Chains A and B, each alone.
Chain A
């Protein structure tokens, strides 16, 4: 599903340049649940942004679902994001003046889905994350865990090929974190490909594979025995 080869990325800062990603290689198959591990500043978000087409690598290859991702203009990148990718952010990034339902329906709007279908579909995904009753509520009426579940529903509503989650549990307490991970595992159980960026060991071990980043290189890439989050909920 995802294949990267010799991915390099550096940030220019005045005369200096900070080499953040130093030749990364991996491939992720359909249905995998992968944790990108590493301490703060190790380049996890940088990698995820490149995979999410929000940023571009300096060199190397990136193929998504057989499509080489290269030299995209903003419009093309937007279309690909809409078609291929779902995003989940640490700070949820819900639109505060839109209800939970409207937030979930938003990517469908950019897919030009008619309103009725948009709402039906959005409601279906809200139901999957257990928030059907909260459909008409604004984000500030929801708890952190609920917000993140709305964000996950929003990411899934567009039926992306890959779900990219950057520290999805970073702003949550451990109990809520496990609830969110339980949800992510269930979505993965349905066959969806998911990448989770985290710096927490326990969260990483709830995935099926851990890619360990350190100083811009992959120091470890291993399959792990998945810890089910449901037992902590």
Chain B
């Protein structure tokens, strides 16, 4: 230990390394490249991971959507091509029959999916915004951040079919004056006055929902547009430990049963399983991380083996020098430690340079992707990974240094010094 901390040791090692520049540079490049690949790849994978994470932050990861389409098979006297319609009672059935469902939110919309947008305005200011009829449960599936002082639709709103609305940031900007408090203010939706009870925050990084969306109670929506028991689609969240693919299947089967659809009809109900997509993406990101780990480690290993090789050659070249050192009083341990330390030092220097270079590359990529719509955030390699890589390099450097070091001490000084 004293040997490692001794300044003289390092002067000697630094001397030997800096005086053999070509060898040092070649050696360093191998390991540098390895650690660079490792850092750059795993950082990029992490960045993508983070990107997807923040995209999915606004919606339950185990969520799925179900909507109605037309049948594609005749069944029980019904002809093919019969239009399907989801009903409010379907939600109750699903909740009662499928225990894996944690939340179910029936939803309706105007001004989205091709339907005519409602006319929305305030005084002489007008705008076009999608209008959703929602239950409070919707925020359990796709959490909405509401600005201070406001709230989302609650059970009272539903029960009394209150004329209240939660508006988006853009809606606020376009319909209200600067500095004006929108809460308590009134907007006109298709000639009916609604009181604003909340403004929801729009998250730039996410891909769900817009900054102009207006939410009103489901029951109010029903009264306004005479939709009766009809539901546009269901947003559903399954429990975290549920198998979302299975839940999706169960729900569709149940709906087919209720609506008398052929069990094999694939078209009657449409669904989109976010949970499944999410799992695929997570799997993809994990795969990339794992791949970068394997590639990185393999490259580092190759680099370190390269160091070992070059040190081995250099030990042969330096046979005479090592003999002279022994004649001048270097003990075998001192010779061995010097070679090992040279190996470790080269490895670590190369590693640190690779880490710095990799980090710079990651920062560069981060800057480039800042403005474009690509799920890529904060591509950092976790510190433990970096430290782990350094530890691995020290260990590998030592192990690989042992071979040339052993070679160096196995040469007797008298043989090293023999005059030809």
Which A residues have a C-beta under 8 Å from some C-beta of B?
Answer: 45, 49, 52, 54-55, 74-75, 78-79, 81-83, 87, 89-91, 93, 95-98, 102, 106-107, 109-112, 114-115, 154, 158, 166
Indicate with 1 or 0, residue by residue over B322-335, a CB within 8 angstroms of chain A CB atoms.
01111111111110
Question: How distant is the Cα of A54 from the Cα of B323 in the complex, in angstroms?
Answer: 10
Asked if B19 contacts A110 (CB within 8 A), the reply is no
Q: Which residue of A lies closest to B414 (CB)?
A: A54
Asked if A82 contacts B413 (CB within 8 A), the reply is no
**Can you pick out 7 interface pairs between chain A and chain B where the beta carbons lie within 8 Å of each other?**
A45-B419, A81-B327, A106-B325, A110-B328, A110-B330, A114-B8, A115-B7
Within 84-135 of B, Cβ neighbours of A (below 8 Å) are at none
- Other CB < 8 Å A-B pairs besides A54-B417, A110-B328, A115-B7, 15 of them? A45-B419, A54-B327, A54-B413, A78-B326, A79-B329, A81-B327, A81-B328, A90-B419, A95-B324, A95-B325, A97-B15, A107-B328, A111-B329, A115-B8, A154-B328
Question: How distant is the Cα of A68 from the Cα of B215 in the complex, in angstroms?
Answer: 101
What residues of A have a CB within 8 angstroms of the CB of B320 in the complex?
93
B53 to chain A, nearest CB (A): 53
A171 to chain B, nearest CB (A): 10
What residues of B have a CB within 8 angstroms of the CB of A95 in the complex?
321, 324-325
Given known contacts A110-B334, A114-B8, A89 and B417 CB-to-CB distance under 8 angstroms: yes
A72 to chain B, nearest CB (A): 12
Asked if B329 contacts A107 (CB within 8 A), the reply is yes
What residues of A have a CB within 8 angstroms of the CB of B16 in the complex?
97
Question: How distant is the Cα of A54 from the Cα of B11 in the complex, in angstroms?
Answer: 27
Cβ-based interface call for B20 (8 A): yes
Asked if B20 contacts A97 (CB within 8 A), the reply is yes
Question: How distant is the Cα of A96 from the Cα of B19 in the complex, in angstroms?
Answer: 9
Q: Which residue of A lies closest to B6 (CB)?
A: A112
Indicate with 1 or 0, residue by residue over B1-29, a CB within 8 angstroms of chain A CB atoms.
00000011001100110011000000000
Q: Which of A45, A75, A90, A102 contacts B331 (CB 8 A)?
A: A75
Asked if B328 contacts A52 (CB within 8 A), the reply is no
Q: Which residue of A lies closest to B19 (CB)?
A: A97
Q: Which residue of B lies closest to A114 (CB)?
A: B8
Within 292-330 of B, Cβ neighbours of A (below 8 Å) are at 320-321, 323-330
Asked if A78 contacts B330 (CB within 8 A), the reply is yes
Q: Which of B11, B329, B331, B334 contacts A158 (CB 8 A)?
A: B329
B15 to chain A, nearest CB (A): 7
Among B328, B331, B332, B412: residue with most chain A CB under 10 A = B328
Given known contacts A75-B333, A112-B8, A89 and B413 CB-to-CB distance under 8 angstroms: no
Question: How distant is the Cα of A75 from the Cα of B409 in the complex, in angstroms?
Answer: 11
Q: Which residue of A lies closest to B18 (CB)?
A: A97
What residues of B have a CB within 8 angstroms of the CB of A114 in the complex?
8
Question: How distant is the Cα of A81 from the Cα of B331 in the complex, in angstroms?
Answer: 10
Question: How distant is the Cα of A74 from the Cα of B330 in the complex, in angstroms?
Answer: 10
Q: Which residue of B lies closest to A80 (CB)?
A: B329
What residues of B have a CB within 8 angstroms of the CB of A96 in the complex?
321
What residues of A have a CB within 8 angstroms of the CB of B326 in the complex?
78, 81
What residues of A have a CB within 8 angstroms of the CB of B15 in the complex?
97-98, 102
What residues of B have a CB within 8 angstroms of the CB of A89 in the complex?
417, 419
Q: Which of A45, A52, A109 contacts B327 (CB 8 A)?
A: A52
Question: How distant is the Cα of A183 from the Cα of B328 in the complex, in angstroms?
Answer: 21
Asked if A82 contacts B329 (CB within 8 A), the reply is yes
Question: How distant is the Cα of A110 from the Cα of B412 in the complex, in angstroms?
Answer: 18
Among A52, A106, A109, A154: residue with most chain B CB under 10 A = A109
What residues of A have a CB within 8 angstroms of the CB of B328 in the complex?
81-82, 87, 106-107, 110, 154, 158
Asked if A81 contacts B20 (CB within 8 A), the reply is no
Question: How distant is the Cα of A81 from the Cα of B332 in the complex, in angstroms?
Answer: 13
